[in-house]
Amino acid sequence: MKKAAEPGSVRLHKALSEVWGTKPGLGRLAAVNHSTIGKRFMATAAVFFVIGGLLAMLIRTQLATSRSPFMEEGTYAQVFTMHGTIMMFLFAIPMLEGAAIYLLPKMLGARDLAFPRLTAYGYWCYLFGGTMLLVALLFGVAPDSGWFMYTPLSSSTYSPGINADVWLLGVTFVEISALSAAVELIVSILKLRAPGMSLERMPIFAWYMLVVAGMMLVGFPPLILGSILLEAERAFDLPFFDPTRGGDPLLWQHLFWLFGHPEVYIIFLPAAGMVSTFLPVFAGRPLAGYRAVVVSVIAMGFISFGLWVHHMYTVGIPHLALGIFSAASALVTIPTAIQIFAWLATLAHGRPRFSIPMLYVFGFLFVFILGGLTGVMLAMVPFDWQAHDTHFVVAHLHYVLVGGFVFPLLGAAYYWLPHLTGRFPLLQLSKAAFWLIFIGFNATFFIMHLTGLRGMPRRVHVYPQEPGMELFNLISSIGSFVMTIGFALVLLDFVLQIRFGRLAGRNPWKAGTLEWAMPTPPAAYNFAALPKITGRADQLDPDTLGPQLAAGKGYLGFVRNGQMETLAVDAVTGRLEQIIVLPRSTFLPLLTALMTGVFFLLMLFKHYALAPFALIGVAGMFLMWTRATGARQDLDTLDAGCGERAPVHFQSRGAPSEWAMVLALVANGTLYASLLFGGLFLWVSAPDWPVAPGAYQVGLPVQIITLCVLAGAFFASRQSVRSGTQGRIGWLAALAASHLSAAALFGWMAYGLVPLNTQHALFAVIFAIQFYAGFHSLLGVVFALYGIWRVLLGYVSPMRDLDLRIGARFHAYAASAGILALVFVWQLVMLGSGGDPA
C-alpha cells in the first residue's frame, strides 16, 4: 500500500527541527537554542531561590528570640551574607535574564537571539560562579562581610581568609553572564525583529527589556571594577581603600551603589514589563497610555543612575549634595506612578477576568505601593538619618523587591507556564498558595517597620530584651514560615501542572502577542515562517496568524543548505536588511566557561603566576568560535521569502556583531570611566594627599613616545579597513607592532611603580590605569593578528570586511584609552603631588 504524502507543513516542521533541534544525551550540553538556555536560567535561578529562602528561614529562626543559641555569630554572618548575595545576584537578575531570553525572540518574531553561543556561555558562567559560592558555604568559608562587602570590614586586615575573595571572584564570574545578556538582548531587540515591526510597534515587554539591558550594560561595570580593585588590594596590597595609605573606604560604597541602586530598577522593570504585557489580556483591552509608559520607563532608567547616594546619607555627604540626591530620589516616583496609573486605567476601561495571574497583580500593587511610600520616607534626609541601618530599611527593601519582582513574577509564571508546558495549573491549589504568601509576607515584613522604628539594627544576630521587641520578632518569624509554606505550594502546583494539568490550546488566554502564534510547547525554531508585522505587536491575531506561519506562509518558510537562518531589520523602521546565519550547537561555550572558571579558581587559591595562562586559554577558546563564521567568497543576495531578497549578515553594514562590539566597548568604557572617577575621588576626599614631590618621576620623554605610538595605532586602525586587499596585511602588521610597542612602554612605566604602588593610593591608581591601557594594547595585538589570519585564509574582501570593521573599533578604543591614560596620569601626578610632577 502506497504511503500517503506528508502535508507541506509537516515536512517543513521536520526539516526545521532537524536543523534547529538539540541533540539528545550529552548533546544537550552543546545546546545554544534560546528556549533551552532560557529555561535553564529560570530553573537554576529557582533552585538558588529555594536555597536563599532556606537561609532566610535560618535567619528568622535565630531572630525569633533575643538571645537564641541557634547560630553563633560567625555562622550567622555567613548565612546573612549568602542570603542577600543569592537573592540579589543568583536569583533576581538571572531569573529576569532567563525570562527575557526565552520570551523575546518569540515576541519579536525571530527564531533565536543574535548570539546563541554567547547566551550559552553566559549561562555556564552563571552556573559555575554560583556553584563556587555555594561550595564555599558548605565548607564554612562563605563570605561573611555582608552582601554589600563594605570596606574596611572586607579588607585583608579584618577578613584575612578567603571568605571575601569567594564573594569578589564568584560574583565577578557571575556578572560575566549579566553583561553577556545585556549585549545579547540590546542587539536582538534592536535588530532581530520581524519585518515591519518598527520601534513604535514593539510589544511593551521589549521596551522594558531594552531599557533594562542598557542599564545592565552601564550599571554592572562599576561593581566589577570595585571587585577587581578590592581583590587587588587583598591579593597585592594595593591600597585603594586603605585610609592609612591614601585610600578611602567610601570609594567602595560609591562604586557599589553606582551599581546597587540601579539594580533595584533593573529587577523591578522586567517584572513591571510582564505586568504591562499580561494585565491588558485579562482586562480585555490594550494597554492604556502605551507611549507614556515607554517614556516613563526610559525616564526611570536615566533617573535611577542619579540616586546612588540615596544609600549614603549618613557618611558625611555635603548638605547641598544631600538635597540634590533627596530630590532625585523623590523624583523617580513620577515615572513609577505613570505606569501604575496606566495599569489602573487599563483595568477601569476594560472588563477584567480575575484569574490567578491577576490575583498576583493585585498583591503586587498592594505590596509595592506600600514599599514605594516607605521609599519616599527614606528619601527624606532627616527621616533616613533616624531609620538608617534599622529593620525599617529591611522592611522597605523587601516590600519593594518582593512586591515589585516576586509577586509579578509569580503572576507571569502562571500566565506563561501554559506556553512552556502546554497545560493549565490546578486553580484551587494556586489560590491557597497566593494567600499564604500574601499573608505570610505582610506578617513577616510589616512588623519590621515597627521594630525598625523602635531602633532594632539590621545585620545583628541578637538584640536587647526590650518590651515588645521579642514579640514582634516572633511574629515576623512565624510569618516567614507561613510564606515559605505558600512558596512550597507554588512549587507543588507547578510540578502537578506539568504532570497532570489539563491541556491548553494555542492561545488559551486570547492574547495579542506573537509568542502565542505557535504551538505550545514551542518548537526549537519558534516559527516555521517569520511574520510581516503591519500593526502594534501586542494587538495581533495569533489564532489566525499561527496556522499561516506553520504552513510556511511568511519569510524564510524553508530550509536553505542546512543553515539556521533568521532576519535582521533596520533598528528604527523595521525594514528588512539582512539574513542572519546563526551557529549550530557546539560545546565551545561550555569549554570556554570552564576555562574561565579555571582562571577564577587560580585567583581564589592565589596561584597568581598561573592565572595569566588561563586567560590566554580563554582567549584561545574564543578565537576557536570564529572558525565557523564567514565565507571565502562573495555571495549574492539571498531569497528571504515574501518576494524580497537580502544580503547575508557578514556582507552587510551594521551587522549584529558590529553592534555587539560597540556595546561591549560602552561597557568597557564605563568601567574605565569608573576607574578614572576613583582616582579623582581619592584626590578630592582621601587623607594623606598630596604626596611628597619627587616620589614618582613622570617620565615625559617616554610618555611622548607612547603618545606617538598610540596615535599611529589610531591612524592605522582607520587605514586597515579603508585600504585595498593588498595593503590590509601591511596596515594590520603596523597595528600589531604599534600595540605591542605601546604595551611594552606601559609595562615599563608600570614596572617603575612596583616599589611604590603599595605605599600610597596615588601610585596604586596610576599602576591600575597603566595596567588597563597596557592590557588593551595587548588585546589590540591579538585583534590585529587575527585580522591578518582572516585575510590570509580568504575570509576578507571589499564586500566581506566585517572582521576588520569590528577590529577597527577595538583598535581605535584601545589607542584612545591609552592616550587618555597618559594625559590623566600626568594630571593626576600634578594634582597628587601638589602641582609638582618632578
- Amino acid at site 176: I
Does residue 439 carry a pLDDT above 80?
yes
Whole-number pLDDT of residue 698:
56
Does residue 444 carry a pLDDT above 80?
yes
How much is the average pLDDT of 476-501?
93
How much is the average pLDDT of 435-451?
96
For the ranges 101-115, 660-674, 805-819, the lowest mean pLDDT is seen at 805-819
Does residue 838 carry a pLDDT above 50?
no
Q: How many CB atoms lie within 10 A of CB 148?
A: 18
Phi, psi of 192 (to 5 degrees): -100, 65
For the ranges 222-231, 302-311, 704-713, the lowest mean pLDDT is seen at 704-713
Whole-number pLDDT of residue 809:
93
How much is the average pLDDT of 215-228?
97
- Residue-wise pLDDT for 322-368, tens only, equals 898 899 888 989 999 999 999 999 999 999 988 899 999 999 999 99
- Amino acid at site 398: H
Please, which contacts does 247-250 make with residues 24 or more away whose CB atoms are closer than 8 Å?
247/682, 247/686, 247/761, 247/764, 248/681, 248/682, 248/685, 248/686, 248/687, 248/761, 249/150, 249/151, 249/152, 250/312, 250/315, 250/681, 250/685
- Residue-wise pLDDT for 628-683, tens only, equals 788 899 999 999 999 999 999 999 999 999 999 999 999 999 999 999 999 999 99
How much is the average pLDDT of 111-126?
97
For the ranges 244-258, 395-409, 710-724, the lowest mean pLDDT is seen at 710-724
Does residue 757 carry a pLDDT above 60?
yes
What's the rounded Cα separation, in Å, for the pair 364 and 408?
A: 6
- Copy the grid coordinates of residue 385: 538619618
How much is the average pLDDT of 72-91?
96
Does residue 776 carry a pLDDT above 70?
yes
Whole-number pLDDT of residue 4:
46
- Amino acid at site 75: T
Of the pLDDT bands very low, low, confident and very high (cuts 50, 70, 90), residue 836 is low
3-state secondary structure of 154: coil
Of the pLDDT bands very low, low, confident and very high (cuts 50, 70, 90), residue 725 is low
How much is the average pLDDT of 18-34?
92
Residue 662: DSSP 8-state = H
* Position with higher pLDDT, 714 vs 179: 179
What's the rounded Cα separation, in Å, for the pair 273 and 568?
A: 24
- Copy the grid coordinates of residue 352: 477584567
Computed over every residue of the chain, the mean pLDDT equals 92
Beta strands in 520-655 (DSSP E): 564-569, 576-582, 638-641, 644-646
Does residue 635 contact residue 649 with C-beta atoms inside 8 Å?
no
End-to-end CA distance of the chain: 97
Pairing of strands 644-646, 638-641: antiparallel
Phi, psi of 648 (to 5 degrees): -70, 155
